[in-house]
């Protein structure tokens, strides 16, 4: 057991949370130990990873019937390991307490690897039944560990010992992270409060799983089927992919608009059928809010009430105060302070954008007022009018495979990594769409790890894009290589045709690959060093998006799907000139969700009725009527399907301040975005250390100072105020 299992393993956090970005931490895996159960012989989920590359998950042998017994056996084994550590008669020290905790739980980590795949990539009603049953049991298991008084006494003794002062910087941080995690999660409470704390965690685990299942049910069950007569305005590539999606669902003569962002977004951008745009928009933004068995309003109230009660036991005024204490922001006031600096400029820009769109609608005689389902459609018209930029024209140069090669090129230049596709069949995968690459150091040929890619949407796969690991790099018990993974929901191109994606999706593709590089570049000794600080972990991935617009990528990888010609300089110039276009929309829809997250977690839940609260608070903020929250409350899985981003969704903006500031370091370097000296500092201080160093100090080591918010304002084309 290590910090990865405090507040549940990262794999379980990801599985329960359904978040659309990478989990904070990762699953560690080494060879099977003598203490592991003999049941592993019969149950592949318990077995050590087999085959090449220090062993890989046996995804081709996954059997859902094995999951529940595997979880139960692995939890039993892990508790026995913890009891051995807690009852050690020797005086506590780093090696016999902290290091032993780092070694414990390896069997359970393996099971969570498979659990995460079922939850995120191939869910089913049968799995969700197991998930609902096991969520409270996993929570109870976790509480048994965090509330083990003998164990915590040993951890505390090491943290307060003279030995602590002699430990390496990473050992000190790991010890502090473990101590702090236990202390902040009930270890210091009296017996009665501990019991209530554990009971609340079990109740929350059940509610989080139910919230996630409800959202997935609405994503699966709400599909709009079009006839040929309803395709006006849609690009041929989108029509082809929609036909393939309909055929997959048994509607061979129709066209499916699925209830996912990758399908919804282009439909709202191009379809001239306004009533259908409204229907698709409502399906997507009303997920979990349809007054049926999948409605999440009641669950939100229950979740907030229980979270509030739990932090009260620990002496905090509200959930956000507890959550942010060990984040970069430190307090909800600091997080809200950053957003208050940006929000006025964002909504002012929205007003300008809406005026431009309304002018075009009026000029065309549309006789409408711009509504949320019109924003993307008329925004695209404004883009063409202002910048002569057609998003569908840009899309013809954004082939998924070519973009993947571009990411490999960037990784080679910055990290010295080389990617080689693993022959089919050598490494087991959980779906035929999944491909695997071996990652090596280009200079030495040293094996770094594997990279799995699962790019396409399908039934049973949660929406969004995310990254995770099946094994993380550590050295304290022998060197282990990395098994990293990227997952997306792109709509697959028609048979024999390339998959074309939007510029926004291309940025997301690079973003998630940034998380993978963060995993692959790690150089730490202990598993707990992979735990993350939520308002920092998005920084590295956001930063990698910047390389999409570098000349080397544009000239060599953004080539036309039919002609193979590179993107012309005129089109590149239009993209760069329009880089701050529509920033009002993108900033406001995100920040509305981030602000509401903090408001939900700093307000007495007794005063909250979710739909009314959302409406009233956004009205107070001056939320433009033409935009809604990026994640409306009833499908805000980041904060209600788990606790990974709860009271922390602001972290994307916090991280983007770092991103904008760091990007200027590259932009001003002699070698630009491929400057070797700056890239070296990037890898050394911002990627390889993971959480073995305080993030604020790591950034100062890279930049020579703290990040400045003015860089973010410049990036978004907002006025910089002094």
Q: Of 632, 590, 615, 620, whose CA–CA distance to 300 is shortest?
A: 632
251/132 Cα distance (integer angstroms): 32
Phi, psi of 122 (to 5 degrees): -150, 60
Cα three-residue angle 304-306-309, rounded to 5 degrees: 110
What pTM did the predictor assign? 0.85
Question: In a 3-state reduction of DSSP, which class is residue 302?
Answer: helix
H helix or E strand, kind and range, residue 279: helix 274-285
Q: What is the pLDDT of residue 42?
A: 84
Residue range 331-385, pLDDT digits in tens: 999 999 999 999 999 999 999 999 999 999 999 999 999 999 999 999 999 999 9
- DSSP assignment of 416-473, as one string? -EEEEEPPTTTS--SSTT-EEEEEEETTT--EEEEEEEEEE--TTS-SS-EEEEEE--
pLDDT bucket at 722, cuts 50 / 70 / 90: low
pLDDT bucket at 411, cuts 50 / 70 / 90: very high
Give 712: exposed, middle or buried? Use CB within 10 Å, 0-12, 13-18, 19+: buried
pLDDT at residue 18 above 90?
A: no
163: Cα within 13 Å, side-chain hemisphere: 16
Residue range 484-519, pLDDT digits in tens: 999 999 989 888 899 999 999 999 999 999 999 999
Residue range 72-88, pLDDT digits in tens: 999 999 999 999 999 99
pLDDT bucket at 41, cuts 50 / 70 / 90: low
Residue range 142-180, pLDDT digits in tens: 999 999 999 999 999 999 999 999 999 999 999 999 999
pLDDT bucket at 698, cuts 50 / 70 / 90: very high
Question: How many angstroms from the chain centroid is the CA of residue 48?
Answer: 27
Phi, psi of 586 (to 5 degrees): -65, -40
For 68, residues 6+ apart whose C-beta sits below 8 A from its C-beta are 130, 133, 134
> 296, 215 in Cβ contact below 8 A?
yes
288/587 Cα distance (integer angstroms): 24
Question: In a 3-state reduction of DSSP, which class is residue 56?
Answer: strand
**Range list of H helices, 222-260:** 236-248
pLDDT at residue 2 above 70?
A: no
Residue range 559-576, pLDDT digits in tens: 999 999 999 999 999 999
Which range among 4-18, 520-534, 588-602 shows the weakest confidence by mean pLDDT? 4-18
16/206 Cα distance (integer angstroms): 9
Residue range 521-562, pLDDT digits in tens: 999 999 999 998 888 989 999 999 999 999 999 999 999 999
Q: Which domains does the chain have, with CATH numbers?
A: 3-146+148-188 (1.10.1370.40), 222-285 (no CATH), 332-392+581-715 (1.10.1370.10), 400-531 (3.40.390.10)
Report the pLDDT averaged over residues 287-292. Answer: 96
- DSSP assignment of 97-132, as one string? IIIHHHHTTHHHHHHHHHHHHHHHTS--HHHHHHHH
Rg of the chain's alpha carbons, rounded to an integer?
25
């Amino acid at each position: 057991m290590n910090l990865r299992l405090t507040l549940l393993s990262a794999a379980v956090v990801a599985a329960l949370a359904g978040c659309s970005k990478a989990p904070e931490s990762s699953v560690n895996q080494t060879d099977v130990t003598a203490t592991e159960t003999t049941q592993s012989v019969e149950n592949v989920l318990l077995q050590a990873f087999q085959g090449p590359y220090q062993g890989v998950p046996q995804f081709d042998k996954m059997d859902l019937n094995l999951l529940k017994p595997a979880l139960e056996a692995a939890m039993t084994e892990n508790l026995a390991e913890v009891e051995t550590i807690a009852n050690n008669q020797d005086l506590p020290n780093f090696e016999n307490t902290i290091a032993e905790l780092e070694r414990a739980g390896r069997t359970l980590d393996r099971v969570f690897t498979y659990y995460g795949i079922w939850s995120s990539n191939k869910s089913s009603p049968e799995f969700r039944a197991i998930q609902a049953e096991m969520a409270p049991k996993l929570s109870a298991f976790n509480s048994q560990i965090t509330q083990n008084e003998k164990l915590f006494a040993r951890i505390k003794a090491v943290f307060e010992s003279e030995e602590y002062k002699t430990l390496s910087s990473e050992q000190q941080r790991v010890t502090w992270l473990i101590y702090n995690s236990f202390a902040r999660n009930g270890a210091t409470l009296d017996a009665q409060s501990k019991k209530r704390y554990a009971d609340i965690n079990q109740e929350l685990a059940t509610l989080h799983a139910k919230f996630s299942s409800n959202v997935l049910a609405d994503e699966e069950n709400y599909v709009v089927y079009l006839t040929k007569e309803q395709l006006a305005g849609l690009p041929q590539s989108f029509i082809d992919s929609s036909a393939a999606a309909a055929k997959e669902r048994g509607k061979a003569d129709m066209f499916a608009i699925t209830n996912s962002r990758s399908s919804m977004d282009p439909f709202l951008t191009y379809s001239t059928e306004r009533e259908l745009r409204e229907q698709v928009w409502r399906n997507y933004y009303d997920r979990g809010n349809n007054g049926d068995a999948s409605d999440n309003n009641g669950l939100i109230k229950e979740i907030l009430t229980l979270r509030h009660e739990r932090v009260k036991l620990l002496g905090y005024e509200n959930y956000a105060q507890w959550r942010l204490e060990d984040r970069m922001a430190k307090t909800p006031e600091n997080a809200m302070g950053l957003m208050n600096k940006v929000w006025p400029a964002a909504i002012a820009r929205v007003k300008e954008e809406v005026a431009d769109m309304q002018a075009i609608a009026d000029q065309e005689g549309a006789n409408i007022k711009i509504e949320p389902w019109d924003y993307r459609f008329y925004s695209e018209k404004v883009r063409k009018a202002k910048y002569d930029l057609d998003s569908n024209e840009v899309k013809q140069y954004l082939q998924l495979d070519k973009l993947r090669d571009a990411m490999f090129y960037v990784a080679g230049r910055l990290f010295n990594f080389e990617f080689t596709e693993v022959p089919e069949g050598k490494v087991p995968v959980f779906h035929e769409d999944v491909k695997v690459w071996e990652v090596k150091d280009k200079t030495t040929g040293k094996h770094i790890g594997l990279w799995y890619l699962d790019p396409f949407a399908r039934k049973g796969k949660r929406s969004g894009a995310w990254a995770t690991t099946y094994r993380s790099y550590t050295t304290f018990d022998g060197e282990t290589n990395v098994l990293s993974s990227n997952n997306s929901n792109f709509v697959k191109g028609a048979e024999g045709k390339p998959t074309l994606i939007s510029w926004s999706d291309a940025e997301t593709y690079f973003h998630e690959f940034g998380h993978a590089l963060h995993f692959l570049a790690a150089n730490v000794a202990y598993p707990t060093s992979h735990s993350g600080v939520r308002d920092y972990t998005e920084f590295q991935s956001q930063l990698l998006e910047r390389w999409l617009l570098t000349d080397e990528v544009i000239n060599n990888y953004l080539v036309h799907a039919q002609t193979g010609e590179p993107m012309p300089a005129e089109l590149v110039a239009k993209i760069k000139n329009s880089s701050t276009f529509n920033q009002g929309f993108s900033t406001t829809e995100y920040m509305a969700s981030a602000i509401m997250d903090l408001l939900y977690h700093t307000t007495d839940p007794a005063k909250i009725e979710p739909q009314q609260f959302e409406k009233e608070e956004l009205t107070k903020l001056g939320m433009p009527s033409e935009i809604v929250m990026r994640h409306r409350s009833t499908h805000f899985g980041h904060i209600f399907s788990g606790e990974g981003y709860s009271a922390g969704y602001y972290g994307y903006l916090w991280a983007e301040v770092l991103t904008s500031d760091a990007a200027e370091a590259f932009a001003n370097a002699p070698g630009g975005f491929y400057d070797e000296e700056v890239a070296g500092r990037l890898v050394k201080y911002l990627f390889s250390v993971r959480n073995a160093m305080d993030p604020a100090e790591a950034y100062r080591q890279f930049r020579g100072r703290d990040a400045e918010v003015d860089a973010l304002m410049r990036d978004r084309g907002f006025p910089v105020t002094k």
